[in-house]
Amino acid sequence: MSSEARTDAGSVETDRSFDPDDGLLVAEDLTKRFGGLTAVDDLSFAVREREILGFIGPNGAGKSTTFNCITGRYPPTAGEVYYRGERVTGAPAYEMVTRGLARTFQAFRPFEDRTVLENVRTALVPNELFSTSGLRGETRAEAIELCDRVGLGDALRRMPDELSHAGMLRLELGRAMATEPELLLVDEPFAGLAGSEIEQVSALFEELREAGTTLIVVDHNMRGLLRLIDRAIVISFGELIAEGTPEEIKSDPAVQEAYLGGEV
């Protein structure tokens, strides 16, 4: 319906709208208010299949709130969310995962009471009351393989609080990947990572995309994101201010203003 709005990057129309089928994930006029505070304001965007989308905005711009609304942590005040053309507005978190949308948490949320391996194994356990896959060791091999993939092969028996910051991120990723997502939402993965770690994690994301996964990478700036993402959406104070390729975003005056000529 509004394909020109998305291709014509840099000049974002305020009243653009999307069809539910315009992408793998479509948010339409998404709004979230907490009391008098409008954290997300009439936000619309679409995520295309197999892209790596950067979702960028200064701290407090409403990035996490947007994705908490989409992933079922809490329902939006207004607006709609579509996944694969189906309306999923306000669907509970576990249902979004079942549909294929997994997420990581910016403030890591491992199960503190169990090892790295058991954390991933817990994610592999099916959403069924009567299931014995774990008892007979069926999920164990799969969990070990996932830990290897995210680079935690040497830390299987560690407790989460013994992991480094990068290790915790890897655990978040491993646990999310265990749900076999089509769309993986990664919340602020690069904050607090060293340069080499950023490269390793970026390589993992590219590997996932090669395997057919769509990714949304949330970050508060574009550092480390430039080479990774295909496209970016920038929000500020809950509103969309720019959309386009990384180069287009970098030269966008609205973006520069939002960051006060800062770290873009």
Interface residues toward other proteins, by CB under 8 A: 71-73, 92-95, 97-98, 102-103, 105, 107, 109-115, 118, 121-123, 125-138, 140-141, 144, 157, 159, 161, 175-176, 178-179
Whether 181 and 213 have beta carbons less than 8 Å apart is answered as yes
DSSP state of 228: T
List 185's β-bridge partners, or say none: 103, 216
Residue among 45, 47, 40, 36 nearest 78 (CA): 40
Q: Which is nearer to other proteins, 68 or 214 (CB)?
A: 68
Task: For residues 222 and 59, give the distance between their C-alpha atoms in angstroms, rounded to a whole number.
Answer: 13
Q: Which is nearer to other proteins, 176 or 258 (CB)?
A: 176
* Smallest distance, other proteins to C-beta of residue 83, A: 14
* Smallest distance, other proteins to C-beta of residue 121, A: 7
Distance of CA 3 to the CA centre of its chain: 23
Q: Which is nearer to other proteins, 141 or 260 (CB)?
A: 141
* Smallest distance, other proteins to C-beta of residue 54, A: 21
DSSP state of 23: S
- Cα–Cα distances in angstroms (integers) from residue 226 to residues 5, 133, 199, 210, 216, in the given order: 22, 42, 12, 18, 13
* Smallest distance, other proteins to C-beta of residue 252, A: 33
Q: Which is nearer to other proteins, 143 or 242 (CB)?
A: 143
Task: For residues 189 and 101, give the distance between their C-alpha atoms in angstroms, rounded to a whole number.
Answer: 17
Q: Which is nearer to other proteins, 154 or 263 (CB)?
A: 154
* Smallest distance, other proteins to C-beta of residue 161, A: 7
